[in-house]
Amino acid sequence: MSLAAPGGTTILDRVSASVPSSGITVLAGPSGAGKTTLLRLCNRLEVPTSGRVLFHGDDVAGLDPLLHRRRVGMVFQRPTLFPGTIRDNLAVADPTAGDDELATVLEHAALDASFLDRVGDDLSGGEAQRACIARALLTEPEVLLMDEPTSALDPEARGSIERLGRALADDGLTLLWVSHDLDQVGRVADRTIVLVGGRVATAAEADAFLRASSPPDNEHEEDRSS
């Protein structure tokens, strides 16, 4: 599968990879390698210019995008909450859910029911990210895509999200997690796919990257500059 920008610049070059249906698979690689773009292809926020993206054997190009995004949820780098309470935010994912169901999904995201009546501006970065994860979980996804979900958080909040990710994976949710942080890769990954220059790294390149003594530049890749 490949993706080129409108001007012809190659963003992803003949990428072929599979994600197992359990555990945490980490997409790692230096800034600009194409990690975020590949994640967006999984959620049909991008469409390949050649090749296919398959979900359970079905080409996602033939699936209803809204229904697909309920089955394959996504959490972005910076937590984005809509105006209003956390209850209002969760209602975006499921307007029919009652408070008991909302409290349960918050509990799965390591927040208690008291957060239902709080507004996003009152939450810390880690709390806001967990609220975004709860919103994604409310659609009961089969896969959760995590796009550098801790890069804007302090170490304590980062650890909290990592522990939450592990708990969700242990409960059977498939996670595909983008990270440039080698230490984090070592902590959370059950399997790692390394990208370099828009392609899947060779075994030697992946080994060299993962053994690097310091993480690469942590500048987050933009959607079209990956």
Residue 6 is predicted with a pLDDT of: 86
Question: Among positive and negative, which fits the CA dihedral 130, 132, 134, 137?
Answer: negative
- Residue 210 Rama label (left phi>0; alpha psi -120 to 50; beta): alpha
The DSSP output letter for 220 is P
Share of the chain above pLDDT 90, in %: 82
Q: Which domains does the chain have, with CATH numbers?
A: 3-80+144-210 (3.40.50.300)
* 109, pLDDT greater than 70: yes
| Class of residue 94 by CB neighbours under 10 A (exposed 0-12, middle 13-18, buried 19+) | middle
Residue 9 is predicted with a pLDDT of: 87
* 31, pLDDT greater than 90: no
**SS3 for 199?**
strand
pLDDT band at 180 (very low <50, low <70, confident <90, very high): confident
Residue 218 is predicted with a pLDDT of: 44
* 142, pLDDT greater than 50: yes
Q: What is the pLDDT of residues 68-92, one digit of tens each?
A: 999 999 999 889 999 999 999 999 9
Looking at every residue in the chain, the average pLDDT score rounds to 90
Residue 221 is predicted with a pLDDT of: 42
Residue 67 is predicted with a pLDDT of: 94
What is the arithmetic mean of pLDDT over 120-130?
Answer: 93
pLDDT band at 211 (very low <50, low <70, confident <90, very high): confident
Residue 178 is predicted with a pLDDT of: 96
* 223, pLDDT greater than 50: no
Residue 222 is predicted with a pLDDT of: 40
Residue 212 is predicted with a pLDDT of: 77
What is the arithmetic mean of pLDDT over 33-42?
Answer: 94
Residue 224 is predicted with a pLDDT of: 38
Contacts of 11 (CB under 8 A, 6+ apart): 3, 4, 5, 34, 37, 198, 224, 226
Q: What is the pLDDT of residues 3-28, one digit of tens each?
A: 998 888 899 999 999 999 999 999 99
